[in-house]
Amino acid sequence: MLFLGASAAGQSTTNPIIQSQARFQPVLARQGMVVSAEALATQVGVEILRKGGNAVDAAVAVGFALAVTHPRAGNIGGGGFMMIHLRDEDRQVAIDYREMAPAAAERDMYLDENENVDQGKVRFSRAAAGVPGTVAGLLHALERYGTMKRRQVLAPAIKLARSGFKVSRDLSRSLGRARHVIEHGTARGVFYDRDDNPIKTGTLLKQPALARTLGRISKLGADGFYRGETAVQLALDMQQGEGLITQQDLGNYKVVERDPIVGSFRDHRVVSMPPPSSGGIHLVQMLNIIEGDDLAELGAGSAAVSHLLTEAMRRAYADRSVHLGDPDFTQVPMRRLTSKDYGKALRKTIGERATPSDKINPGEQIEAAAPGNTTHFSIIDADGNAVANTYTLNFSYGSGIYVPSLGFFLNNEMDDFVAKPGEPNGYGLIGDEANSVQPGKRPLSSMTPTLVLNRDGLPVLVTGSPGGSFIITTVLQVLLNVLEHGMNLAEAVSAPRIHHQWKPDMLFHERGVSPDTLKLLEGRGHTLRERRVWGFAGSAGYDGEWFYGFADSRRGGALAEGY
C-alpha cells in the first residue's frame, strides 16, 4: 500500500462537521443511514434499522421495496451486485446476482440475415432478457449475512404493492418518457390507461399481481420465484415472443460469491465489484494511474486534473474492450490490470496533450448513449456494517416488456454482451470475444458498488451509481472528491462530472465545468461534448462518530435518511 501523506486540506477529509461552511451539506445521523433513489424505499430501510435489523436486512428490504416503488430500475426481473462490509470481521463480500444467458442463447443470435445487429431483438424483445438474478441474490444475502426473517424484510414491499402508494411526479414522468414500454402495451392497465397516458402524479398505484409474486417469495423463498407458479408463468410469457428463458433456466440460476477487487488510494482501502462487472477493476486501475500525481495541488475541476483523469479513463476503457468478460468463461487478467506497476506504466504514456484513442487501439468512432436506468443504494448500520448495492433492468423499464400475471418488467441485459465484435451496445461500448454470448454466461457490466475503508476499517464512503458506461468514472470522481479534494459527501456528489470511454474519442462533461477549463482542455486536443447530467451517486459514510448521506439531486424523488 502507498502512503503519500495527508491530502488536500491536511485534515480528516471525510468529517462533514469540519466543513459546515460548504455550499452543499450531507444529511447527518447518529445510528445509521440509508440512501436510495426513492423516498418510500429509503424509509423502509430506516424502519428496518430502527427495529434492530443490520445493514443487510435493510438492504434486502430496500431492494424488494424499490421493485415496487421504482419499477424502472428497482426490480425482481433483473440482476445486480451487492458489496457488503462486515465490520466485526473486517471482511468484505461481493455477491454476484447478475443475469445469466439462457441455455438456448447463441453467439450470433442477435444478428440479422445481413450480419447486422438486430437492435430491436437485443434491446426490446423477450429475447433480450437474461435469467433474472435479483431474488436469488437478495435472499442469499439475507440468509448468509442478515439477521431477520424473510417474512419481515419482504412485508413492507408486499404492503406497498398490495395497498398501493401515491405515484410521485418522478415516476409519472419516467413512465411518460418510456416510449418502448408503451409500444409493447403489456403494462397497460397498471402503469398506463387505455390511451397510453401514464398514471398521474398523486394517484394511488396498486400492483396486486406483483404483491402475489412477492408473497410467494416471502413464503417459499427462492423457490417462490425460480420454481412453481412464477417459473411456469414466466416461461409461458416467453413463448408469446421469441423469449428463451425456460423453467429449467430459472431452476439453474446461481448466485456467486466472489473475491472483491481490493485496491488502495493513499491510505484508504478501495473494495469493489469483480468481474462479471468491469467496475472494480477499472476503478482501481484508474486510481493506480493517477495516484502518483498531486491532484489536490492541481485543484479539483482544473484542466490539469480533468486531462489526467480523461487519459486514465481512456486507457482503462480500452483495456475493458478486450480483456473483460465473465470470469467463469474467459481469462480476465485481474492482477495485472489492478497492479500498481501497470498503473505507473500507463501513467508514463500520458503527456500534456490528448492521446488520440485510435493510437491506443484502432477502432470505429461511435456515439455513447445512455438510455438506461439502473439504481444504486448505500446503507450503513449502527455497528458500521455497510452495503453498497447496484441492480438494474439495464434500460429504463428494461426491455419494456411487463409480465402482467407476475407484475414485473423483464430486463434487457443481453445487450450488455457483444452482439457483434466492434458494434457498440446501448452505451456505446464495444468489445470482443471475451464478452460474446454463450449459454449460462453473464454479460459484462459497469456497475461499481464500492466500499472505501479507512485504516480502522470504517466505511468512510459507500457509493455507486447508475449510468451504464458512465458509472465507473462517476464513482472514480466521487471517491477522488472526498479522499483527494477534501470535499464533504454532498459537495463530492454534486460537483460536475466528466467522462471518457476510449471510444468514441470524446470528452463528455456536465454543465457547470468552467468555460475556461473547457477551452484549456480543447487546447490540449480533447474533443468536448456537453451532456445533460448523469448518474445518481447516492452515497453514505461513517467516520466513527457521525453517519452521513447524500442522495444526489440529479434525479428527483431520492432520499437520504438516518436516525
Footprint of ligand DON (CB under 6 A):
370, 372-374, 392, 394, 413, 416, 445-447, 466-468, 471
Residue nearest to ligand DON (CB): 372
| CA gap 177, 182 in Å, rounded | 9
CB of 396 to ligand DON, least distance (A): 7
Shortest distance, CB of residue 276 to ligand DON, whole angstroms? 9
For residues 452 and 197, what is the distance between their CA atoms, to the nearest angstrom? 43
- Nearest CA among 417, 497, 425, 423 for reference residue 465: 497
Q: Catalytic residue, from 186, 246, 374, 392: name it.
A: 374
Alpha carbon separation from 12 to 50, 267, 315 (Å, rounded): 29, 12, 31
Task: State which residue, 71 or 384, has the beta carbon closest to ligand DON.
Answer: 71
Minimum distance from residue 425 beta carbon to ligand DON (Å): 9
Q: Which of 272, 333, 330 is nearest to 81 (CA)?
A: 272
Query: Is the sign of the CA dihedral 255, 406, 395, 438 positive or negative?
Result: positive
Nearest approach in angstroms of CB 525 to ligand DON is 29
Pick 291 or 326: Cβ nearer ligand DON: 326
Q: How far apart are CA 355 and CA 353, in angstroms?
A: 6
CA count, 13 A, side-chain hemisphere, 84: 26
Q: Report the length, in residues, of the chain.
A: 563
The residue among 64 and 395 lying less far from ligand DON, judged by its C-beta, is: 395
Q: What is the 3-state secondary structure (H, E, C) of 520-531?
A: HHHHCCCCEEEC
Query: Is 73 or 507 the residue whose CB approaches ligand DON more closely?
Result: 73
Q: Which is nearer to ligand DON, 312 or 370 (CB)?
A: 370
Q: Which residues contact 20 (CB under 8 A, 6 or more apart)?
A: none
Minimum distance from residue 399 beta carbon to ligand DON (Å):
12
Q: Which three three-digit cell numbers place residue 249?
A: 433456466
CA end-to-end distance (rounded Å), the chain: 35
User: Can the peptide bond before residue 459 be classed as cis, meaning omega within 30 degrees of 0?
Assistant: no
Nearest to 44 by CA among 131, 183, 156: 156
Q: Known catalytic residue: 13?
A: no
CB closer to ligand DON, 274 vs 562: 274
CA 195 to chain centre: 33
Q: Which is nearer to ligand DON, 385 or 412 (CB)?
A: 412
* d(C-alpha 345, C-alpha 462), whole Å: 29
Q: List, in sequence order, every residue forming a beta bridge with 459; answer none if it has no partner.
A: 453
φ, ψ of residue 409 to 5 degrees: the values are -90, 150
Residues identified as active-site: 374
